[in-house]
Structure 1
Amino acid sequence: MCRELTEEYGEEVTKLCERLVETLSESLGLEPNRLMKAFGGEDKVEAALRANYYPKCPQPQLTLGLSSHSDPGCITVVFPDEKVAGLQVRRGDGWVTVKSVPNALIVNIGDQVQILSNGIYKSVEHQVIVNSGMDRVSLALFYNPRSDVSIGPVRELLSENQPALYKPIRFDEYRLLIRQKGPCGKNQVDSLLQADDTSQI
Structure 2
Amino acid sequence: MTEDLLHKVNQIRVWKPETVIEIENPDGFRLIGKGKQGAVFQIDERRCVKIYYHSKSCQRELHTLKLGAKAGICPEIYYWDTQFIVMEYLTAPTLFDYIQQNGMTRELSERLVTLLDTFEQVGFNRFDHSARHIFIMPGDSMKVIDVVHMIKPTPVYLAKKLIGDMGMYGHDFVNFVRELSPKWYGHWSNHWEFEEVMSQLR
Tell whether the structures are fold-level matches, with TM greater than 0.5. no
Q: Which has the higher contact order (CA 8 A, sep 6+)?
A: 1
TM-score by length of 1: 0.24
| Structure with more of its chain in strand, by fraction | 1
TM-score by length of 2: 0.24
| Structure with more of its chain in helix, by fraction | 2
